[in-house]
């Protein structure tokens, strides 16, 4: 890997791409430390120290949520908009038709995603700011006669920060190395590692050793599962294209395979499950201090039930991750429509009849292999709970979701760098 980076820096164009990526990442990190005016920094720090429900938002903001900076929401609204449109494609024929129109259709879907990002960002800005106001962190937020201008300025600032974050990420994708949005998230997670190491060294050095071992083992398992796939052989029949004199021109007859990944869903099930787990606790938080005792008691019960401190929370989290893994994998697989594509192109799986039989066979393989991916993601999801029982602390070096993101981004970036080097006659470096 180090040799690959050295080889890349020897080439002026690749060196320019890497430097450009680093510069954009530095600019984003600087902006992540510019706080929104009117924030009580001390109370904000205490909130994040005692409330793990905000961890997911902090991850997708690249660490900017903990400072409630102008980049506090990061690229999360854009990711949400992408997921919503992807889930709507099987339900709305017009969107499904656009997805099948090639480059032009994908460009339109990307434009719709950008449009949807704006209201999603504004809605999230209002929700997050309202939560912080209830905790006394944003005392001037609210649509009152005195504060409506301040409230609008905060919402516009946060929404603009998301748009700028998405723009910076797309600049990296276009002119740099790797997926820009993923690299921005990766930079925020990596930037917090030194702080985590320092806090664990002060509190308990042995905890740091245990977490380091757990992290190394988890990374190795993630790499194996992320790269794991089942290759289903596919044979294409020969076709006669034309007659040249006494010779027939024949095409086809190749053998290839369909790669079905063990973890087709990636980290999306973790996002879905954690978002679902965050929602009840967030809503209950509004009613904890209600003047009505019954409402306050119910809100307290829900808040504690959906708090990461309880065992029930992690059990529900594990079950939801498995359920969403199957759900999202099935959605993605149906969108690919592999049985029909194979039949149109004259391909078939040896020993399996085309059409319904092929569809049943592929679905069966997918269900079996997804079980491994679902259990893997469920294990990654509850890793902080297991580590807490072993080390008597809930503060990991990197959260399980963050670890999955980091490994995925590194693998994807290295593959892109390898492809760039191979195009320039360099030997592959992932042995």
HSE toward the beta carbon, residue 93, CA cutoff 13 A: 0
Q: By three-state DSSP, how is residue 179 classified?
A: coil
Q: What is the pLDDT of residue 238?
A: 61
Residue 94 phi/psi, 5-degree rounding, is -65, -40
pTM value?
0.73
* Candidate from 166-180, 387-401, 411-425 with smallest mean pLDDT: 387-401
Could you tell me which residues come within 8 angstroms of residue 377 by beta carbon, excluding any fewer than 6 positions away? 263, 265, 267, 269, 270, 321, 322, 325, 404
Q: What percent of the chain has pLDDT over 90?
A: 3
Q: Tell me the per-residue pLDDT of 195-220, one tens digit each, with 9 for 90 and over.
A: 667 666 666 666 667 777 777 887 88
Most confident range, picked from 7-11, 12-16, 45-49, 246-250: 12-16
When pLDDT is averaged across residues 423-428 and rounded to a whole number, the result is 57
* Chain position carrying tokens 């709305």: 92
Q: Tell me the per-residue pLDDT of 74-127, one tens digit each, with 9 for 90 and over.
A: 888 888 888 788 778 777 888 778 877 777 887 888 889 999 999 988 888 887
Please provide the average confidence, as pLDDT, over all residues in the chain: 77
16's tokens:
């320019």
345's tokens:
């192109």
302's tokens:
């829900």
Query: Which CATH architecture best describes the domain 1-192+406-431?
Result: Orthogonal Bundle (1.10)
Q: Tell me the per-residue pLDDT of 243-265, one tens digit each, with 9 for 90 and over.
A: 555 555 555 557 777 888 888 88
Residues in the chain: 431
Residue among 178, 159, 128 at smallest CA distance from 18:
178
Q: What is the pLDDT of residue 163?
A: 92
How far is the C-alpha of 418 from the C-alpha of 1, rounded, in Å? 10
The sign of the CA dihedral 181, 183, 189, 195 is negative
pLDDT band at residue 431, thresholds of 50, 70 and 90? very low
* Chain position carrying tokens 């796939």: 229
- For residues 350 and 240, is the Cβ–Cβ distance under 8 A? no
How far is the C-alpha of 343 from the C-alpha of 50, rounded, in Å? 56
Could you tell me which residues come within 8 angstroms of residue 319 by beta carbon, excluding any fewer than 6 positions away? 378
HSE toward the beta carbon, residue 325, CA cutoff 13 A: 29
Q: What is the pLDDT of residue 115?
A: 92
pLDDT band at residue 167, thresholds of 50, 70 and 90? very high
Q: Where in the chain is the domain with CATH 1.10.3370.10?
A: 1-192+406-431, 228-397
- For residues 303 and 297, is the Cβ–Cβ distance under 8 A? no
- For 328-342, what is the HEC assignment? HHHHHHHHHCHHHHH
Query: Could you tell me if residue 238 is left (phi over 0), alpha (psi between -120 and 50 degrees) or otherwise beta?
Result: beta
Q: By three-state DSSP, how is residue 139 classified?
A: coil
Give, in order, the Cα–Cα distances in Å from 277 to each of 11, 44, 47, 315, 370.
Answer: 47, 22, 18, 11, 22
Pairing of strands 238-244, 247-252: antiparallel
Q: What is the pLDDT of residue 55?
A: 59
Q: What is the largest CA-CA distance in the chain?
A: 94
**pLDDT top residue among 53 and 195:** 195
Q: What letter does residue 428 receive in the DSSP assignment?
A: P
**pLDDT top residue among 12 and 373:** 373
H/E run at residue 264? none
- The domain covering 228-397 belongs, at the CATH homologous superfamily level, to SecY subunit domain (1.10.3370.10)
How far is the C-alpha of 307 from the C-alpha of 317, rounded, in Å? 11
Q: What is the pLDDT of residue 104?
A: 81
Terminal CA-CA length for the chain: 10
Give, in order, the Cα–Cα distances in Å from 388 to each of 45, 56, 60, 271.
Answer: 21, 18, 23, 21
H/E run at residue 300? helix 293-305
The sign of the CA dihedral 92, 98, 99, 105 is negative
Q: Tell me the per-residue pLDDT of 295-344, one tens digit each, with 9 for 90 and over.
A: 888 888 877 777 766 678 788 888 988 998 888 888 778 777 777 777 77
Q: What is the pLDDT of residue 118?
A: 92
When pLDDT is averaged across residues 64-68 and rounded to a whole number, the result is 72
Q: What is the pLDDT of residue 429?
A: 47
29's tokens:
């990190």
């Amino acid at each position: 890997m180090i040799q690959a980076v050295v080889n890349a820096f020897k080439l002026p164009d690749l060196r320019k791409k890497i430097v450009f990526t680093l510069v954009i990442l530095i600019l984003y990190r600087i902006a992540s430390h510019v706080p929104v005016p009117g924030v009580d920094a001390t109370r904000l720090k205490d909130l994040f120290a005692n409330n793990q429900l905000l961890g997911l938002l902090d991850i997708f903001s690249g660490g900017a949520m903990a400072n409630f900076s102008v980049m506090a929401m990061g690229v999360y609204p854009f990711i949400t908009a992408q997921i919503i449109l992807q889930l709507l494609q099987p339900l709305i024929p017009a969107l499904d038709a656009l997805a099948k129109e090639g480059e032009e259709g994908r460009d339109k879907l990307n434009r719709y995603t950008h449009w949807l990002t704006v209201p999603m960002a504004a809605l999230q800005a209002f929700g997050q700011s309202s939560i912080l106001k209830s905790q006394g962190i944003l005392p001037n937020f609210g649509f009152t006669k005195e504060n409506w201008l301040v409230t609008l300025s905060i919402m516009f600032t946060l929404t603009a920060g998301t748009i700028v974050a998405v723009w910076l990420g797309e600049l990296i994708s276009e002119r740099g190395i790797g997926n820009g949005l993923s690299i921005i998230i990766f930079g925020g997670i990596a930037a917090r590692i030194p702080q985590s190491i320092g806090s664990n060294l002060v509190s308990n050095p042995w905890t740091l050793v245990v977490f380091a071992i757990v992290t190394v083992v988890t990374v190795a398992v993630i790499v194996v599962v992320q790269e794991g796939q089942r290759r289903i052989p596919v044979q294409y029949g020969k076709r006669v294209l034309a007659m040249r004199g006494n010779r027939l021109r024949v095409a086809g007859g190749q053998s290839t395979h369909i790669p079905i990944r063990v973890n087709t869903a990636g980290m999306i099930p973790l996002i879905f499950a954690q978002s679902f787990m965050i929602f009840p606790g967030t809503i209950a938080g509004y009613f904890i201090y209600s003047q009505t005792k019954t409402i306050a008691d119910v809100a307290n019960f829900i808040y504690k039930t959906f708090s990461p401190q309880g065992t029930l929370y992690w059990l529900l989290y594990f079950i939801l991750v498995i359920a969403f893994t199957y759900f999202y994998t099935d959605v993605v697989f149906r969108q690919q429509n592999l049985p029909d594509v194979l039949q149109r192109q004259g391909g078939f799986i040896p020993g399996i009849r085309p059409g319904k039989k092929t569809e049943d066979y592929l679905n069966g393989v997918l269900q079996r292999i997804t079980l491994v991916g679902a259990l893997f993601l469920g294990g990654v999801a509850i890793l902080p709970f297991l580590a807490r029982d072993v080390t008597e602390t809930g503060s990991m070096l990197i959260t399980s979701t963050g670890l999955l993101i980091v490994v995925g981004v590194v693998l994807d970036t290295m593959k892109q760098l390898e492809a760039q080097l191979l195009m320039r006659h360099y030997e592959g470096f992932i042995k």
